[in-house]
Structure 1
Amino acid sequence: MSDTLRTARQPEPEAAPAGSPLAAHVVERLRDLIVTEELPPGAPLRERALAERLGVSRTPLRDALKALATEGLVTIEPKRGAVVAPFSEAAVAEKLDVLAALEGFAGERAAEAATEAEIAEVRALHHDLLAAFERRDRTAYFHLNQAIHRALVAAARNATLTALHAQLNSQLYAYRWRGSADLTLWTTAIAEHAQLVDLLSRRDAAGLSAALRAHVGSTWRQLRRKGDAGGIPQAGASVGD
């Protein structure tokens, strides 16, 4: 299949960061540019140029850069200033190990605690996810994928889990966005999501926990087998590239 996967300008963040509303808006704008690699790894983040590009003063811009540094998307270096953080296989693998544990715990609790309305919402989100996949609408798919995982975590009813998951997941946005550029991996993820919905519907706590743990690292394992872990498909790559 030769369809070109659509690039997105707006992978949706989980929550606005602390600080002023303007700084939060700038964080979202910058995160989008970094995740979709309009600002690639290693790119210098020149304050004057970025402030002009985003139409803001340097104060909210600096606050935004500090916030993104806590997410691991930006590195602030003495004298050199802020740069887009380089991709690190080791860092991604380490974070995915922890995220898998968090989502596994969330799945176990969600299977037990989710209301019927919450389960119905996850089913509805999955239905929309399938439609986005059929359209090859990568933007909508990314949003819906994130929404499903957030819904499962929310259904676990654990505020500490929700906060930790949001923080760690935001650090993996760029990796997860790049991983969706490969149609084979995308197709596998769709099948895995169908399994998650089935296990949740049956309230299979152990099964959902195990499936979520495996699902979180599935794309990474496939990329490693293909030898592409250090060169994850770029945003906008064509199917078959």
Structure 2
Amino acid sequence: MGRPLMGTSAIAPIERRALHEDLAEKLRRAIVHGELRPGEKISEKILCEQFGVSRTPVREALKILSTEGLVQLMQNRGASVTEVTWEDMQHAFPVMGALEALAGELACQNASDAQIERAAALHARMVAMFEKGDRKGYFRVNEEVHQLILEASGNTALPRLLRTVSGQVRRARYMANLSKERWTEAVAEHEEILSAFAARDGKRVSRLLKAHLANKLSALAKAFAQTKFKT
């Protein structure tokens, strides 16, 4: 058996229902978190051995990730993790910004009081992670906040549409070593977004989310210029 493709954190038991979707999520997290690096080959054989599954769900999972731009499928050569390019980010961020802005506006109309309270609690946890300098924990809770807003929107099409670009965006954020200054700004931006969400001010939430994504893209431009990202 070859080298395991992912650390143990990514290999939790997989439920048998919608097996290929569960497997796709495990692989997606491994790619986003950098356990599977850009350009790395993905062995179907090793994945089958690691997860105790046949090749069929593995191939279906890889097809899903291919549509999300995270995996490249090559005829007779298997699959590999796609490279992160600046051009991809320039295309993905405005799309994600528009979709998240719509989700935020709808969430202000449709969110329950419990969801708004949970968003505030998650933001408090995120600030605590920031104060401790825990980037990984911060990003994890940050994703929970955005997921909550998406769910609160009540629009079932948005999660599917966002998934096609969110993986690339999340991966770039993990790979880029953003400055403490930008991190501080991001926390302040989240404070404004959650304040507007609590007030159910949909137009303001929409505007702030678009600006938040635009600011992330500007910060990533600097990171791309200073690192070995593909351009």
* TM-score relative to the length of structure 1: 0.78
Question: Which deviates more, 143-152 or 169-178?
Answer: 169-178
Structure 1 residues 106 and 199: CA distance shift in structure 2, 3 A:
same
CA RMSD, 1 decimal: 2.8
1:96 Cα offset (Å) = 1.0
Question: Which deviates more, 172-181 or 94-103?
Answer: 172-181
1:214 to 190, 200, 211: 211
1:41 Cα offset (Å) = 1.0
1:130 Cα offset (Å) = 1.1
Q: Distance in 1 between matches of 2:219 and 2:23?
A: 34
Aligned length: 219
Q: Provide Cα deviations, 1:200-232, integer angstroms capped at 9, x if missing partner.
A: 1223222211100011232221232x3635738
1:45 Cα offset (Å) = 1.5
Matches within 5 A, 1:199-210: 199-210=196-207
Match of 1:228, SS? helix
Q: Provide Cα deviations, 1:77-106, integer angstroms capped at 9, x if missing partner.
A: 123221111112112221111111111122
Q: Distance in 1 between matches of 2:27 and 2:204?
A: 38
* Corresponding residue for residue 20 of structure 2: 23
- Which protein, 1 or 2, shows the higher relative CO under an 8 Å CA cutoff with sep ≥ 6? 1
Q: Distance in 2 between matches of 1:180 and 1:197?
A: 25
Q: Distance in 2 between matches of 1:178 and 1:135?
A: 20
Match of 1:217, SS? helix
Q: Distance in 2 between matches of 1:49 and 1:160?
A: 34
* Corresponding residue for residue 117 of structure 2: 120
The percentage of counterpart residues that share the same residue type is: 35
Q: Distance in 2 between matches of 1:76 and 1:118?
A: 39
Structure 1 residues 180 and 144: CA distance shift in structure 2, 3 A:
farther
1:37 Cα offset (Å) = 2.2
* TM-score relative to the length of structure 2: 0.81
Is there any run of 5+ residues in structure 1 with no aligned partner, and where?
Answer: 1-7, 11-15, 234-241
Is there any run of 5+ residues in structure 2 with no aligned partner, and where?
Answer: 1-7
